[in-house]
Structure 1
Amino acid sequence: MIKTIDTSKVNEYKFALIETEKGTMKLKLFGDEAPQTVCNFATLAIEGFYKDLNFHRVIPNFVIQGGCPHGNGIGGPGYEIICECDDQEHKHERGTLSMAHAG
């Protein structure tokens, strides 16, 4: 099911913090490029969806993946959102936060 995300608060979500046992990561969010993705991420975080979840996939010097409630990469919040990955200024470079896309 594709869920339409309320983007009315997108301008409030400029940064996010991810706290881990290794330290805190500060993330810059680009709501102008991906408003539904940013608002979905922020809402899930505020609601506690990510609390106490682990990074289930770690490949040194390449990628870490987290956010799966099952711990294996196949779980999620129970819905999908539209893909906002076309024609974006910011690309997948070192240090980029991205959302998984199963399509």
Structure 2
Amino acid sequence: MKKAIIHTEKGDMHVDFYHKDAPKTVENFIKLSEEGFYDGLTFHRVIPEFVIQGGCPQGTGVGGPGYTIDCELDGDNQYHDRGVLSMAHAGRNTGGSQFFVCHNRKNTAHLDRNHTCFGKVTTGIEVVDEIRPGDKINSIEVIED
């Protein structure tokens, strides 16, 4: 199974993917990561006690990879909790490259079954708390488990 390490200016976040619950979203994220799409992009949206969001090539929250993917909302892991990676979108089935990482369950539960949860930070969760607007994603490294 593939995993990822999100290398940031503030440290590394190790991610386990939800291959079973969100296979197409995971495949898309891995493809973009391996192509270097995320290298140098910023976390353009940081809301304390809610989420950190990145993956916009324009750095504004309106850009994407030039295509959209469908939401995957079924499965056992489709709930937002601390460290969960989820696909951002502008409406159902409009995600592409933007993703967010949750700060906690209390303020993100309303996102359940609306945004595709596709992984979780297993090591380096403290990095989520250190990210500020404009902090860079240096790279995302995909590794084999």
Range class of TM-score, shorter chain: 0.7 to 0.9
Kept in 2: contact 1:83–1:101 (CA 8 A): no
Tell whether 2:22 aligns with 1:25: no
Q: Partners of 2:54 and 2:70 in 1: how far apart? A: 20
Tell whether 2:95 aligns with 1:95: no
The percentage of counterpart residues that share the same residue type is 60
Counterpart of 1:56 (choices 17, 21, 44) is: 44
Tell whether 2:58 aligns with 1:70: yes
In structure 1, the residue matched to 2:29 is 41
Taking structure 1 as the reference length, what is the TM-score of the superposition? Answer: 0.83
Which residue type is aligned with residue 76 of structure 2?
E
In structure 1, the residue matched to 2:68 is 80
Moved over 6 A (4+): none
Q: Partners of 1:101 and 1:76 in 2: how far apart? A: 10
Q: Partners of 2:80 and 2:89 in 1: how far apart? A: 13
Q: Partners of 1:33 and 1:40 in 2: how far apart? A: 14
Residue 95 of structure 1, CA deviation: 1.0
Q: Partners of 1:80 and 1:102 in 2: how far apart? A: 10
Relative contact order, higher structure (CA 8 A, sep 6+):
2
Residue 96 of structure 1, CA deviation: 0.5
Q: Partners of 1:96 and 1:71 in 2: how far apart? A: 22
Which structure dedicates a bigger proportion of its chain to strand?
2
Question: Unpaired segments of 5 or more residues in structure 2?
Answer: 92-145
Which residue type is aligned with residue 30 of structure 2?
A
Cα RMSD (Å): 1.0
Which residue type is aligned with residue 74 of structure 1?
V
